[in-house]
Structure 1
Amino acid sequence: MARTINDMDLKEACVQAAREVIAERGVEGLSMRDVARRLDISHQAPYRHFPSRDHLLAEIMRRCFEDFAVFLDVSAKSHSHDELRGMGDAYMSYAAEKPLEYRLMFGTPWPEPAAHPELVKHAVHAFDVLRKNLLKKNAQQKHVQQKHVQQKRAKKQAELEALFIWSALHGLATIKQSNVMQHLVLSKGVQTHSKDFMMLMIQSALASGKSKEFIGHMG
């Protein structure tokens, strides 16, 4: 006989059970029936909180992005002398320490975004942590009040730089997760210092002024 779980606990229990299923079988193996079976509840019980499998998956992904944004923000603030470096370190640490959550955020096809606005909201917020940091950094470098056109260009610059940084860090984090580095016969110390070198190159690229020059050509 299926057991009962009070309504307040049921939602959390379903989320936790779904995470366990994903950890064992991947996202493709997730189903509402499996969640119910794992919790020993009726097959219809999870639908009280999640109308479909996609709604359950979207909630799990939303929580991952929320946790990720907090992780980045806290690290940036704790490295006030170099917030960008702090965020880079946090990004790589998160990917290494929470591989399941990282893959859910960046390696899983999204459920229909229009049907899950909270997922979109938290994903955008995670990106905003980086975007706002770059806007602040660029504004501090100029030391002048920007006009409207300059503000628009500064926003474009920050967004392109944020995408560049995110892409670079994502690439390195993904390679590290795949263990491919272990088979590349790299020189001693290369893998150990790969993150530091990546951050050095990112900071060098940002300091070069090339992104501002590129924005100028965009108009």
Structure 2
Amino acid sequence: MPKTLSADDIQQFREAMRSVAENAFATRGAQGVTMRELAKELGCSAMTPYRYFRDKDDILAMVRAAAFNRFAAHLEAAAENASGDNRLAVSDAYVAFALDEPHAYRLMFDVNQPEGGYPDLAAAALRAQEMLSRHFERLVDAGLLKGDPQLIGYAYWASLHGFTMLALANQLPLPEAQQPPGHTAPTREAVLAQLRGMLWRGAQP
């Protein structure tokens, strides 16, 4: 008879699975991963994951929820610790998360998974969205930007997402630190600064 799982047992297994599954889903795609393969990579029997998850989609939802929560926490910390209107801090934090955790970032936004059956995933995605909404509400309330904060937030999100996806695909100039000596071409930082400047000028009063 299987032993009764404690809360710690469940949490430890789920966290171990999260780490393995995030890499597997990001590199092979959801269709290219099976429960049996995940169990093998984790070093457990093929049936063990079913004691903790309903199916593969349940694991994928758990991985994505964890990514959204880390993403939201990263942006929240940047907004809280920044000085002034913290516009640059939040955009820098957004890009830094995507470049530091590319597997997590791609799974957050490249996977079409119904959130209705996964309340933890829905709550985590909403946390990230509401963080950006609150950020732009504060900027509009302070008179730094003019317009619908929700609409500004979506435009901001879409623009930064495009930048980060191009960066992850190596379709942007190299970062300053990787440029050859005496370079004259634009740097990745210069592209981001140009993008941010265009966004803020368009939304200023």
Q: Using structure 1 for the length normalisation, give the TM-score.
A: 0.78
Deviations 1:42-77 (A, max 9, x none): 221101111010110000000000000010111112
Q: Structure 1 residue aligned with 2:68, among 57, 65, 68?
A: 65
1:191 and 2:194 matched:
no
Distance 2:126 2:26 in 1: 25
1:25 and 2:28 matched:
yes
Alignment partner of 1:113: what SS? coil
Where does residue 204 of structure 1 map in the other structure?
201
Q: Structure 1 residue aligned with 2:132, among 130, 139, 157?
A: 130
Deviations 1:172-194 (A, max 9, x none): 111111112359xxx71253401
Q: Is the 8 A contact 1:83 1:133 kept in 2?
A: no
How far did 1:25 drift? Answer: 2.5
How far did 1:24 drift? Answer: 4.3
Deviations 1:149-185 (A, max 9, x none): xxxxx9x8111110000001001111111112359xx
Where does residue 164 of structure 2 map in the other structure?
173
Q: Which moved more, 1:63-72 or 1:191-200?
A: 191-200
Percent identity between the aligned chains? 26
Distance 2:196 2:50 in 1: 45
Alignment partner of 2:172: what SS? helix
Determine which structure has the larger helix proportion and give its number: 1
Q: Is the 8 A contact 1:71 1:90 kept in 2?
A: yes
Where does residue 89 of structure 2 map in the other structure?
86
Distance 1:179 1:85 in 2: 23
Distance 2:23 2:165 in 1: 22
Where does residue 139 of structure 1 map in the other structure?
141
1:157 and 2:148 matched:
yes
Distance 1:23 1:171, change over 3 A: closer
How far did 1:101 drift? Answer: 0.8
Q: CA RMSD in A?
A: 2.3
1:52 and 2:55 matched:
yes
Distance 1:70 1:139 in 2: 23
Alignment partner of 2:142: what SS? helix
How far did 1:23 drift? Answer: 4.7
Higher CA-based Rg:
1
Deviations 1:108-150 (A, max 9, x none): 222x2110111011111101111001111212229xxxxxxxx
How many residue pairs match? The answer is 188
Q: Is the 8 A contact 1:69 1:129 kept in 2?
A: yes
Distance 1:55 1:35 in 2: 13
Distance 1:107 1:195 in 2: 22
Q: Using structure 2 for the length normalisation, give the TM-score.
A: 0.83
Alignment partner of 2:96: what SS? helix
1:157 partner amino acid: D
